[in-house]
Amino acid sequence: MLLRLIVRDFAIVDRIELEFGGGFGALTGETGAGKSILVDALSLALGERADATVVRNGAERAEISAEFDVAPGSALESWLRAGDFDTDACLLRRVIDSAGRSRAYVNGAAATLGQLREVADFLADIHGQNAHHSLLRGDAQRDLLDTHAGAQTLARDVAAAYAAWRAAREARHAAEKDVEASVRERELLEWQVKELVALGFDIAGWQETEQEHRRLGNANALLEGAGMALAALEEGEAASLPVLQHAGAKLVELTSCDPALGEAAQLFETALIQLEESALALRRYQDRLELDPARLGELDNRIDAVTQMARKHRVTPEELPVLLETLQTRLAELALRADPAALAERERKAEAAFRELGKKLSVLRAKTARVLSAAVTAGMQELAMAGGRFEIALAPLPEGAACGLESVEFLVSANAGQPLRALAKVASGGELSRIGLALQVVASQAKSEKLAAGTLIFDEVDVGIGGRVAEIVGRMLRELGKRRQVLCVTHLPQVAAQADWQWSIAKEMRDGATTSSVSVLAREARVGEIARMLGGEKITETTRRHAAEMLGQG
């Protein structure tokens, strides 16, 4: 669950540091006080995109830090360990500067936005105040069903298998339509591959060839340089080695007269040994290095052949092996095109793989659709839609699609006796809000404990409802708070009164600037806040008694 949230210089927030408890918590306050700003800040910590407009006016950067606990053996712990992050806690930090640049961190280590979004799946589910409108889209309905079924990965696999099937089918069609062009291309590729194979090029051999060519190409200069050094050491009248050997022997002899010469004599002897070994090495080098014009000519020809081949294909010599592999791959594809039976078989196998995965997804969807339909229908009865029904219709797609073997559509009957019709066509704004809330609550309850995010955040999802329905919504969130941490930004006193704890967000002027502040409300302060939510600016004793009564029932 969310343990701590620190927000600095974000929107109208100067600095806020909040510590969270478990259960169901309500965030209330006047309209425009910044209640949803805290949700927006948390969303950024969880990987939402940001720009410079989120930085408080006059500040250099905005910073948001969100700390969550890590349950032993949880999917979150496994994710952190796999990413080489510390597993004692999960601290997300996001920094956005005034130029719009963003940096992200997980437990102090730099992270990508993609990583923040990945870990967010284990931490928090945020249901925005307009989330129910997305239920009108077919893709959102399908995603909700797949998420509820735990089938997101399988759905992605189905989409990939469908794409592979389509690619195989298109390859067969293309081969049938352009046989002559394929034949011409194949003939050219066969010749190019034959040339490259005959060249017998490999990187290691090429490097050895270049090295040997450099050595033989500079053989005269190498022999001359070695000869000069050897002459300076031990050949000719000016040879220094005999002189140095005589001087060294003299030093050794004199050490018997003065031991203080011992160190100098020893160093001199060491240097002399090195020079003698150098002379031996130079003689061996001279014996090994010979002028070989014939071999040099062979190397010239080899280098010329390789460079011409590389120039012909507009690549560097080092890229020739990759070029050969690419041409061979393309040639294999064209050979397959020339074999209609092989193409048809590949297409058949791709289709079979798609349909096998699609059937698995269909089974999961059908099972989950029944469970979710019944649960949402039950939730509608509680939310003042007595006799209403909710059903998830799965219509077969004989040809299949990237989404699978069926389409997904949410159907609803808002009142008893009415036929089921598409949600987008029959639900009013208030009904849509209630159905959406029922779906969100049911979906949040249904996730397995290991996969479920520990924190649920509802940002004014109760818009469009009130009275008895609002009280029922509050009870639903309170019940949900017994299993998960639930945070709800709300303007309804009936919802806030059901919360286990409550904060009030307010705007205030400080140093000529508007900022948001958060107050933790004790019992009496909660009575005052609920009374304000009930009665507006003028709070009477009757309103306070009503507020106290609502809290007593919560």
Query: Rounded distance, CA 198 to CA 472, Å?
Result: 81
Average pLDDT, the chain: 83
Q: What is the pLDDT of residues 177-204, one digit of tens each?
A: 666 666 777 788 889 999 989 888 888 8
Q: Which residue has the higher pLDDT, 293 or 150?
A: 150
95-104, 231-240, 345-354: range with lowest mean pLDDT: 231-240
Alpha-carbon distances of 367 from 266, 394, 413, 484, rounded to whole Å: 92, 11, 21, 25
pLDDT above 70 for 133: no
Which of 401, 331, 348 shows the shortest CA–CA distance to 172?
348
User: Cα–Cα distance between 25 and 27 in angstroms, integer?
Assistant: 7
Contact 461, 131 (CB under 8 A): yes
Bigger pLDDT: 127 or 358? Answer: 358
pLDDT digits (tens, 9 = 90+) for 314-336: 999 889 999 999 999 888 877 76
Q: Which of 166-175, 348-357, 433-442, 483-492 is predicted least confidently?
A: 433-442
Q: In the prediction, which pLDDT does 360 show?
A: 97
Q: Region 205-215: what's the mean pLDDT?
A: 79
The span from the CA of 171 to the CA of 333, in Å, is 9
State whether the Cα torsion 114-116-117-118 is positive or negative: positive
Architecture of the domain spanning 1-129+454-521: 3-Layer(aba) Sandwich (3.40)
List the single range of 280-289, 331-340, 429-438, 470-479 with lowest mean pLDDT: 429-438
Residue 92: predicted pLDDT: 95
Task: Describe the strand order of the beta sheet including 90-97 as a list of residue ranges.
Answer: 13-19, 2-10, 61-68, 90-97, 102-106, 109-111
The residue with greater pLDDT, 218 or 343, is 343
pLDDT of 260? 84
| Between residues 94 and 299, the one the model is more confident about | 94
Using a 10 angstrom Cβ sphere, with 0-12 exposed, 13-18 middle and 19 or more buried, the burial of residue 241 is middle
pLDDT of residue 448: 45
Instruction: Let me know how many helices (H) and strands (E) the chain has, helices first.
Output: 19, 15
Per-position DSSP letters for 344-405, written without gaps between them: HHHHHHHHHHHHHHHHHHHHHHHHHHHHHHHHHHHHHHHTT-TT-EEEEEEEEEEEEETTEE
pLDDT of residue 403: 95
* Count of residues in the chain: 554
Give the pLDDT band of residue 95 (cuts 50, 70, 90): very high
pLDDT at position 449: 46
User: Which of 31-35, 102-106, 127-131, 144-148 has maximum average pLDDT?
Assistant: 102-106
Q: Does residue 554 register a pLDDT over 60? A: no
pLDDT, residue 287, reads 67
Residue 125: the pLDDT is: 79
Q: What is the pTM of this model?
A: 0.58
Give me the pLDDT at residue 122, please: 84
For the chain, which residues make up each domain, given as ranges? 1-129+454-521, 203-329, 523-554
Supply the pLDDT for residue 364.
95
CA distance 458 to 478: 12
Looking at residue 450, what is its pLDDT? 43
Q: Is the pLDDT of residue 131 over 60?
A: no
